[in-house]
Amino acid sequence: MTPELQNLLNQAQQNVAASQRFVQFIGYTTFFAILICAIFSVLIFWKLCQIQKHLAVTAHPMNPGIPVNPFADLAARTAHPAPPPVDDDDRFRPKK
């Protein structure tokens, strides 16, 4: 075997080893990223459940079984009464 061919085979083996290490690194990185996302998703869901329980308790302390509508007060505050109907209002009638 010629020395040039031997050097070429050595470089090919080094490239294969380096690419295997890189693929292994990507695999471990992906695993840890998915694991961290799963942990944070569980923690966020747990905290939202705690907030929901807290809102249910504080909204109706005498009747904890009543479902809570957080937008009921908002709808009552933003509702505006309709203006009284005007029969002689000619703003929207066609022009003569």
Is residue 17 one of the residues assigned to a domain?
Answer: yes
Rounded-to-integer distance, Cα 51 and Cα 47, Å:
6
pLDDT at residue 93 in the model = 74
Q: Report pLDDT digits (tens) over 23-46.
A: 999 999 999 999 999 999 999 999
Is residue 49 one of the residues assigned to a domain?
Answer: yes
CA-based diameter of the chain, in Å?
108
pLDDT at residue 42 in the model = 97
Rounded-to-integer distance, Cα 36 and Cα 29, Å:
11
Count how many domains the chain has. 1
Q: Report pLDDT digits (tens) over 44-72.
A: 999 999 999 888 877 655 555 555 666 66
Q: 60 or 89: whose pLDDT is higher?
A: 89
Is residue 25 one of the residues assigned to a domain?
Answer: yes
Residue 87, SS3 per DSSP: coil
Is residue 31 one of the residues assigned to a domain?
Answer: yes
Residue 25 sits in which domain range? Answer: 3-75
- pTM for this predicted structure: 0.48
Closest-CA residue to 52 (of 64, 41, 39, 42): 64
Is residue 45 one of the residues assigned to a domain?
Answer: yes
Say if CB 55 and CB 68 are below 8 A apart. Answer: yes
Is residue 81 one of the residues assigned to a domain?
Answer: no
Is residue 87 one of the residues assigned to a domain?
Answer: no
Structure tokens, 83: 């203006």
